[in-house]
Amino acid sequence: MKRIAIFASGSGSNAENIYDYFKANDKVEVSLILTNNSTAKVIERANRLAIPCEIFDRQQFYETTKIVDLLKSKNVDLIVLAGFLWLIPEQLVKAFPDKIINIHPALLPKYGGKGMYGDKVHESVVANNEKESGITIHYVNEKYDEGNVIFQAKCEVLPSDNASDLAQKIHALEYQHFPVVIEKLLFARI
């Protein structure tokens, strides 16, 4: 059995999409959802899907080994950041080398870095009249959005698109590609 842990800070629609993709697969399990946000919609999703859910605060995340210990105790094979907004501490990166990936809603290295998340990314892309945007799936290191790129996919940005139109296109790309990339990584086909 391959075990996935998903970190999310908000809605968690990618987390649910990943769960749906693997639910009929008896070789892959979403074993744990983790969040820093006690009011995040992802908690409702985890409860509905009967996925164990861990809520943690800044002190636990950065100053204790609680989360690393939990992930180790669950024998997690891959850690997936899906809309998770905090920087990953060095102890977690070191505990899971090349086993932590993130999805970013733009074509990195453009529109990355601290404070660039969700709709803020799409607003900047639209404000700059970009002709295209897309998604980037990358390994995670101790800096925001700087790990090696694993996969990118593009979409067109039309002059008439606003940030919410673009968000829809980006989410569609995420739902299509993220689980497939995760599956390839789990079975070392990438």
Nearer to ligand GAR, 96 or 178 (CB): 178
Which of 104, 122, 171, 177 is catalytic? The answer is 104
Tell the smallest beta-carbon distance from residue 38 to ligand GAR (Å): 15
Report in angstroms how near the CB of residue 74 gets to ligand GAR at its nearest: 21
Residue 156, φ and ψ in degrees, nearest 5: -80, 145
Q: CB-wise, 82 or 101, nearer to ligand GAR?
A: 82
Going by C-alpha positions, the residue among 71, 16, 18, 7 that lies closest to residue 44 is 16
Burial class (CB in 10 A: 0-12, 13-18, 19+), 152: middle
Q: Give the residue carrying structure tokens 């080994």.
A: 65
- Nearest residue to ligand GAR, using CB? 83
Angle at 165 between CA 163 and CA 170, to 5 degrees: 90
Q: Which is nearer to ligand GAR, 72 or 120 (CB)?
A: 120
Q: How far is the CB of 122 from ligand GAR (least distance, A)?
A: 9
Which residues lie closer than 8 Å to 170 by C-beta, 6 or more apart? 105, 106, 122, 133, 134, 135, 155
Specify the residue, 127 or 188, whose C-beta has the smaller distance to ligand GAR. 127
Site residues for ligand GAR per CB under 6 A? 8, 10-14, 82-83, 103-105, 117-118, 121, 170-171, 174
Active site residue 177: no
End-to-end CA distance of the chain: 19
For the bound state, the minimum distance from the C-beta of residue 23 to ligand GAR, rounded and expressed in Å, comes to 17
Extract the runs of DSSP E, i.e. beta strands, from the chain: 2-7, 28-35, 53-55, 78-81, 100-104, 132-139, 149-156
Which residues are annotated as catalytic?
Answer: 104
